[in-house]
DNA sequence: CTGCAAATCAACATAAACCAACATATCCTT
DNA sequence: AAGGATATGTTGGTTTATGTTGATTTGCAG
């Protein structure tokens, strides 16, 4: 294993876990801690990671935002279910991607697809998928909120409304047997409904911590969606509600 | 086995595995490592693979993108002039930021400002400045081009047109005594003119490599701008033209 | 504040990879 | 078949990456 490959490994690990010790990296990559320190120098120079005594950490600006904290919560679960969602999408498909920590993982899992048409209201997702020259990426919205650099204004609705796509990939704050898909803010709900109305196949991506909870606003019934992708299969009442409404449930194991 | 056949073999292996050592290839193809090194040279020249010490690796698609190459060219100069631009901007100011490698550095230099109102057509700049909760960031545009994740469509023009700001910060491809500010594409020029018309103070950020050159389209006369920020002061005819039109020239030394 | 352990850094040694130059083999043309 | 051009192998010196050792710094408990 050469230095360059180790650099990308280090970067990935730091981005995934937020921080990692020199020793952990040394063991993981089968070299001495000294070599790790040397490999980290160019990464620090490029501002991609930061060094503190005892560990390599992601730069502050990424960690401070609440959104980035959500990116770090349940990261394994989100990573896994993102892979499952990505497996559903084929080269050349057209998709709408809602803003959210889970959907950001989905976007990351889609970088190697080709010829995608992507419409999203998240600046982060847009700049993840736009650099691929085979893709066609549209940003929906104008006024960005600071939390996650995403737009939920009239312009966002208007842009989504112009398109008809194969898949809409939604995030959610809660899933509840009686109340269906739920989110925290009224304008998030409104936007989600727009995505649902413009896609022939609606995929909800939500990790199992969202199960059997309520949030503030109900976005839609389960009958309005086609697929739920999660890290675990739901059980009990929620599972029944999904089955009754013919929602296909997809998990890493199936 | 001929050299050309080995070349395709090398390319396939690199694409399949991401990276491979010279020795592995030598063994696999039954020739010495020296021959492999020679066979790799034309592949590197064509940009199909990259060499690092210890291995041949697939080129980092993102880094090879023209925009990212521009980000790396004249890094110090751009960094310096970005600091100068940032010094001009005060907390609470309203600014429009054009897409470009130089303006990306400016955005980076503005992260610690507070209460900025920012309108930009670059997704990258938007996601640099939006996470600061004291800022108000608007993204202008919908259809992103892959090169730099920026928008130059009608929607972008329309959004910029809604605002009136204190500063417009423009990038440029060339500055020429007779032809003024120049860029490479017609829609870039159109967008720049929109920014100029909506700002009370126009700042052009351009490093000294842009001086005394021509590009395809003329954006505006020097009389239309107020400030030029660069890493070096221009000389000769260009300096005269700027002075005649009362353009204030600002550099890291002044 | 002091002392200790862990982490870091600096300097050197070694091994691996690299490159340049020359020697040899192979191919192609006439 | 001869000769030139090209490709490959070989050799030796140069650079780079890694490991090792010991000195220095840092964080923390008492």
Tens-digit pLDDT profile for residues A209-239? 899 998 888 999 999 999 999 998 999 999 9
Q: Which of A168-177, B59-68, B79-88, B195-204 has the lowest mean pLDDT?
A: B59-68
- In this predicted model, what pLDDT tens digit does every residue of A136-147 receive, in sequence order? 999 999 999 888
How much is the pLDDT for B224?
95
| Distances in whole angstroms, Cα of residue B77 to Cα of each of A7, A48, B93, B170, B208 | 27, 21, 25, 16, 8
B64 in a domain, yes or no?
A: no
Sign, CA dihedral B182-B183-B186-B188, equals: negative
How much is the pLDDT for B68?
63
Q: Is the pLDDT of residue A59 over 80?
A: no
Interchain pair A133, B123: CB under 8 A: no
Same domain, B44 and B73: no
Same domain, A38 and A106: no
Confidence of residue B244 (pLDDT cuts 50, 70, 90): very high
Token pair for A87: 């497996």
Contact B207, B230 (CB under 8 A): yes
Q: What is the mean pLDDT of chain B?
A: 88
What stretch of H or E contains B159?
helix B154-161
Confidence of residue B160 (pLDDT cuts 50, 70, 90): very high
How much is the pLDDT for B66?
64
How much is the pLDDT for B61?
55
Higher pLDDT, A11 or B86: B86
B137 in a domain, yes or no?
A: yes
How much is the pLDDT for B116?
94
Same domain, B202 and B111: yes
Interchain pair B123, A139: CB under 8 A: yes
Same domain, B145 and B51: no
Nearest nucleotide by C1' position to the A29 CA atom: D18
Percent of chain B with pLDDT over 90: 51
Compute the count of residue pairs across chains A and B with CB atoms less than 8 Å apart: 96
Average of pLDDT values for A153-164? 94
Which of A130, A147, A163 to probe by mutation at the B interface, max B CB count within 10 Å?
A130
Which of A96, A142, A163 to probe by mutation at the B interface, max B CB count within 10 Å?
A142
Token pair for B51: 């060499």
How much is the pLDDT for A5?
87
Same domain, A198 and A84: yes
Same domain, A17 and A83: no
Same domain, A30 and A97: no
Percent of chain A with pLDDT over 90: 57
**DSSP conformation letters of B16-62:** HHSEE-HHHHHHHHTS-HHHHHHHHHHHHHTTSSEEETTEEE---HH
How much is the pLDDT for A14?
83
Token pair for B103: 């303006």
Same domain, B34 and B84: no
Q: Is the pLDDT of residue A70 over 80?
A: no
Q: Is the CB of A31 under 7 A from strand D?
A: yes
Contact A99, A119 (CB under 8 A): no
- In this predicted model, what pLDDT tens digit does every residue of B22-81 receive, in sequence order? 988 888 888 888 999 998 888 888 777 888 998 898 876 544 456 666 765 666 778 888
Average of pLDDT values for B181-201? 93
Which of B19, B57, B139, B143 to probe by mutation at the A interface, max A CB count within 10 Å?
B139
Residues of B in contact with A5 (CB under 8 A): 18-19, 55, 57
CATH number at residue B228: 3.40.50.1360
CATH number at residue B54: 1.10.10.10
Q: What is the mean pLDDT of chain A?
A: 89
Distance between CA A48 and CA B212 in Å, rounded? 36
Q: Is the pLDDT of residue A63 over 60?
A: no
Of B39, B59, B79, the position where a domain reaches its end is B59
Q: Read off φ and ψ for residue A138, nearest 5 degrees.
A: -115, 135
Residues of A in contact with B126 (CB under 8 A): 123, 144, 149
Distance between CA B7 and CA B98 in Å, rounded? 42
Token pair for B128: 């640099």
- B231 contacts: CB under 8 Å, gap ≥ 6: B74, B76, B77, B78, B80, B81, B207, B208, B251, B252
Same domain, A97 and A182: yes
Confidence of residue B198 (pLDDT cuts 50, 70, 90): very high
Distance between CA B90 and CA A169 in Å, rounded? 40
For residues B111-136, b (16+ Cβ closer than 10 Å) or e, as one string?
eebeebbbbbbbbbbbbbbbbbeebb
How many domains are contained in chain A? 2
Residues of A in contact with B21 (CB under 8 A): 2
Same domain, B33 and B104: no
Please report, rounded to whole angstroms, the spatial distance between the CA atom of protein residue B34 and the C1' atom of nucleotide D5. 20
Interchain pair B142, A123: CB under 8 A: no
How much is the pLDDT for A253?
75
Of A25, A41, A64, the position where a domain reaches its end is A64
* Residue B202: strand, helix, or coil: strand
Same domain, B232 and B111: yes
Same domain, A103 and A36: no
| B219: containing domain | 69-250
Distance between CA A178 and CA A172 in Å, rounded? 15
Distance between CA B103 and CA A2 in Å, rounded? 35
Percent of chain B with pLDDT over 70: 92
Q: Is the CB of A3 under 7 A from strand D?
A: yes
What stretch of H or E contains B152?
none
Identify residues of B whose CB sits under 8 angstroms from chain A CBs. Answer: 18-19, 21, 52-55, 57, 61-62, 65, 111, 123-124, 126-127, 130-133, 135-147, 149, 151, 155, 159
Token pair for A209: 């911590």
How much is the pLDDT for A150?
92
Distance between CA B147 and CA B134 in Å, rounded? 30
B118 in a domain, yes or no?
A: yes
- In this predicted model, what pLDDT tens digit does every residue of A86-129 receive, in sequence order? 999 999 999 999 998 899 889 988 988 999 999 999 988 898 88
Instruction: Report strand pairing: A143-145 vs B136-139.
Output: antiparallel
Q: Is the pLDDT of residue A71 over 80?
A: no
How much is the pLDDT for A54?
84
Higher pLDDT, B181 or A79: B181
Contact A125, A144 (CB under 8 A): no
Of A12, A40, A64, the position where a domain reaches its end is A64
Identify residues of A whose CB sits under 8 angstroms from chain B CBs. Answer: 2-5, 61, 64-65, 67, 123-124, 126-127, 130-133, 135-147, 149, 151, 155, 159
Distance between CA A234 and CA B59 in Å, rounded? 42
Instruction: Report strand pairing: B94-97 vs B55-57.
Output: unpaired
Q: Is the pLDDT of residue A177 over 80?
A: yes
Q: CB pairs under 8 A, 24+ apart, for A5-8?
A: A5/B18, A5/B19, A5/B55, A5/B57, A6/A31, A6/A35, A6/A36, A6/A39, A7/A39, A7/A42, A7/A43
Tell me which range, A26-30, A67-71, B95-99, B125-129, is most confidently predicted by mean pLDDT.
B95-99
Nearest nucleotide by C1' position to the B23 CA atom: C17
B100 in a domain, yes or no?
A: yes
Average of pLDDT values for B106-110? 89
């Amino acid at each position: 294993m050469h230095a360059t490959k180790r650099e990308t490994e280090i970067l990935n690990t730091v981005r995934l876990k937020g921080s990692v010790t020199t020793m952990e990296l040394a063991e993981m990559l089968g070299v001495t801690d000294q070599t790790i320190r040397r490999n980290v120098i160019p990464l620090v120079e490029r501002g991609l990671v930061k060094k503190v005594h005892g560990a390599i950490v992601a730069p502050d600006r990424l960690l401070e935002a609440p959104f980035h904290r959500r990116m770090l919560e349940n990261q394994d679960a989100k990573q896994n279910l993102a892979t499952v969602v990505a497996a559903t999408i084929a080269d050349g498909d057209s998709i709408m991607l809602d803003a959210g920590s889970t959907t950001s993982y989905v976007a990351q899992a889609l970088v190697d697809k080709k010829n995608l048409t992507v419409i999203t209201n998240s600046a982060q997702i847009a700049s993840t998928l736009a650099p691929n020259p085979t893709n066609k990426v549209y940003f929906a919205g104008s006024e960005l909120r600071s939390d996650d650099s995403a737009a939920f204004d009239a312009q966002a609705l208007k842009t989504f409304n112009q398109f008809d796509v194969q898949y809409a990939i939604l995030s959610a704050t809660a899933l509840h047997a009686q109340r269906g898909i739920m989110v925290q803010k009224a304008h998030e709900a409104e936007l989600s409904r727009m995505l649902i109305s413009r896609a022939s196949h609606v995929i909800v991506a939500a990790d199992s911590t969202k199960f059997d909870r309520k949030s503030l606003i109900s976005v839609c019934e389960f009958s309005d969606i086609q697929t739920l992708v999660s890290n675990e299969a739901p059980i009990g009442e929620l599972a029944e509600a999904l089955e009754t409404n013919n929602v296909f449930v997809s998990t890493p194991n199936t």
